[in-house]
């Protein structure tokens, strides 16, 4: 989920950059050198996961999975997402330099929110695990698309309808991310529960 | 998939210090992003193409690289002219095409291509290791550079893991469809990817400690400090500044 270059206004770009820098600062503070390799390689996994395409009827969407990354990393997801997005813009030219801050906010702020909202629900019962995972996936995309809409709307009030249209088109993605994140979380809890942080 | 196609070259741009190139790309991209007049945006576009020519990149590869943006721009061209208010250019029963919207589309198109070309000519022409080196010289926190270099290094490894998992699933007759079984399979696949990534991270970390890792990477790239860096940076700043002033006078 990206906003391309050349659309947003100066105010929105700089607000995005400031929030992204602050968030990255907090995130980096929370990572010590014992954990940094873990964060880095999870960022690579996040990058690779975004190459997985899922069919919806004749069309296909790629996974985003910022919900999972948020659940696993908390605030450390911000620098991880920044890294992954920077590498994406170097290799694929998705998004670029000036919108990087805004794009980090769009992807990473929901990840952190989801961490604090839904991590406490995990590990109680298997039904609840799936539900919490589903909600984490669903809400991370919902928040992301809302932030994307807000960024456009703040740029120009005329973008209102466009923003609404974009949020609408993301509804199927929210459901799919929810289902995938739900299954993914139950899988992780069965196979390797240590990967999910115990407490906030 | 991950290849640094443009990183090796012998052009003037390739020989510039990464630090200089990073500063230059920041100045020019932001100046271009904030510009609001179509004519000035065209001037930025000209600067960016000059830089691409100077970097002597393969033209086909450059076009291939900016292709994804065209899809996005196509969407913009469909959406904005019919949803935007303002002066009406053409009306076809209920469908109104807004002139303001069309002008905005032109501006967005030229600005986004410009910024991508700037990024391609100045940043994509260095290896990730040099980028890390340049960022370090610009006082970016070491931990962030570590993340960048490390996750770059392991993307190819994790991608191999993904291909292995997908191949194993296909051998067992898995065909992606629109159903819950496919979604479950992909979810487990993504989950396994995170698990393997985590295990790999533990092994890598231990191996690094065994080899006396002291939280620092040392760059093997040596860029000669020469006056071209300085002249280039002055030139870029002067171009950016004069275009910003031109825009201010215009209004």
DSSP B70: H
Q: Which of A85-94, B80-89, B206-215 shows the highest mean pLDDT?
A: B206-215
Of A39, A40, A162, the CB nearest to B79: A162
CB contact under 8 A, A40 and B154: yes
Tokens 């295990």 belong to which residue? B199
| Cβ-based neighbours of A190, under 8 Å, separated by 6 or more | none
In a domain, B20, yes or no: yes
- Are B36 and B72 found together in one domain? yes
pLDDT band at A56 (very low <50, low <70, confident <90, very high): confident
In a domain, B5, yes or no: no
| pLDDT of residue B210 exceeding 70 | yes
For position A199, what pLDDT does the model report? 61
Query: In chain A, how many H helices and how many E strands?
Result: 8, 2
For position A158, what pLDDT does the model report? 82
In a domain, B3, yes or no: no
Q: How far is it, in rounded angstroms, from Cα B62 to Cα B91? A: 38
- Are B24 and B90 found together in one domain? yes
How many domains does chain B contain in total? 2
In a domain, B215, yes or no: no
Of A93, A176, A195, the CB nearest to B116: A93
Q: Does domain A10-195 have CATH number 1.10.1760.20?
A: yes
Strands B88-92 and A59-62 come out as unpaired
pLDDT band at B205 (very low <50, low <70, confident <90, very high): very high
pLDDT band at B155 (very low <50, low <70, confident <90, very high): very high
- Are B113 and B232 found together in one domain? yes
For position B87, what pLDDT does the model report? 74
- Are B26 and B114 found together in one domain? yes
Which is higher by pLDDT, B102 or A144? A144
Domain that holds residue B157: 140-210
- Are B95 and B116 found together in one domain? yes
> Over chain B, what is the mean pLDDT?
88
Mutate to test the interface with B, among A40, A76, A158 (most CBs of B within 10 A): A40
- Are B17 and B120 found together in one domain? yes
Q: How far is it, in rounded angstroms, from Cα A165 to Cα A149? A: 9
Range of weakest confidence among A20-29, B34-43, B72-81, B102-111 = B72-81
| pLDDT of residue A152 exceeding 80 | yes
For position A200, what pLDDT does the model report? 55
Mutate to test the interface with A, among B3, B45, B181, B197 (most CBs of A within 10 A): B197
- Are B165 and B243 found together in one domain? no
pLDDT band at A95 (very low <50, low <70, confident <90, very high): low
- Are B84 and B118 found together in one domain? yes
| Cβ-based neighbours of A78, under 8 Å, separated by 6 or more | A20, A23, A24, A26, A27, A104, A108, A111, A112
In a domain, B132, yes or no: no
- Are B151 and B80 found together in one domain? no
Of A28, A43, A90, the CB nearest to B124: A90
Provide, as residue numbers in chain B, all residues whose Cβ is less than 8 Å from the Cβ of A33: 143, 215
For position A83, what pLDDT does the model report? 95
pLDDT tens digit sequence for A123-134: 888 889 999 999
- Are B54 and B161 found together in one domain? no
């Amino acid at each position: 989920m990206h906003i391309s270059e050349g659309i947003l206004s100066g105010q929105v770009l700089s607000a995005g950059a400031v929030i992204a820098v602050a968030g990255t600062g907090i995130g980096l503070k929370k990572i010590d050198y014992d954990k940094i390799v873990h964060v880095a390689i999870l960022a690579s996994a996040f990058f690779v996961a975004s190459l997985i395409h899922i069919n919806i009827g004749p069309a296909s969407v790629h996974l985003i999975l910022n919900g999972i990354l948020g659940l696993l990393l908390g605030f450390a997801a911000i620098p991880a997402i920044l890294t992954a997005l920077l590498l994406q813009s170097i290799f694929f030219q998705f998004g670029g330099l000036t919108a990087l801050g805004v794009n980090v906010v769009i992807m990473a702020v929901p990840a952190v929110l989801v961490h604090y909202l839904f991590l406490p629900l995990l590990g109680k019962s298997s039904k609840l695990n799936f539900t919490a995972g589903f909600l984490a996936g669903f809400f991370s995309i919902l928040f992301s698309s809302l932030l994307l809409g807000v960024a456009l709307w703040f740029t120009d009030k005329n973008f209102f309808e466009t923003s609404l249209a974009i949020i609408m088109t993301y509804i199927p993605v929210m459901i799919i991310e929810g289902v995938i994140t739900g299954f993914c979380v139950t899988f992780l809890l069965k196979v390797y529960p240590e990967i999910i942080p115990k407490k906030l | 998939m991950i290849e640094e196609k443009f990183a090796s070259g012998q052009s003037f741009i390739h020989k510039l210090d990464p630090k200089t190139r990073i500063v230059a790309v920041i100045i020019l991209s932001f100046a271009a992003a904030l510009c609001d007049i179509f004519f000035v945006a065209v001037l930025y576009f000209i600067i960016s193409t000059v830089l691409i020519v100077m970097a002597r990149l393969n033209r086909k590869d450059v076009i291939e690289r900016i292709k994804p943006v065209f899809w996005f721009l196509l969407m913009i061209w469909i959406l904005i002219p019919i949803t935007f208010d303002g002066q009406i250019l053409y009306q076809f029963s209920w469908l109104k095409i807004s002139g303001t919207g069309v002008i905005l589309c032109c501006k967005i198109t030229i600005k986004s291509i410009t910024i991508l070309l700037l990024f391609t000519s100045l940043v994509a022409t260095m290896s990730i290791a040099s980028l890390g080196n340049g960022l370090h010289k610009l006082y970016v926190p070491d931990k962030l550079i570590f993340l960048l270099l490390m996750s770059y290094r392991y993307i190819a490894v994790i991608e191999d893991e993904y291909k292995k998992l997908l191949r194993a699933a296909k051998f067992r007759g898995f065909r992606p469809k629109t159903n819950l079984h496919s979604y479950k399979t992909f979810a487990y696949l993504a989950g396994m990817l995170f698990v393997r990534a985590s295990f790999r991270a533990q092994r890598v970390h231990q191996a690094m400690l065994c080899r006396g890792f002291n939280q620092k990477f040392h760059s093997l790239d040596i860029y000669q400090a020469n006056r071209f860096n300085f002249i280039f940076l002055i030139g870029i700043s002067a171009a950016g500044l004069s275009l910003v002033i031109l825009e201010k006078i215009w209004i």
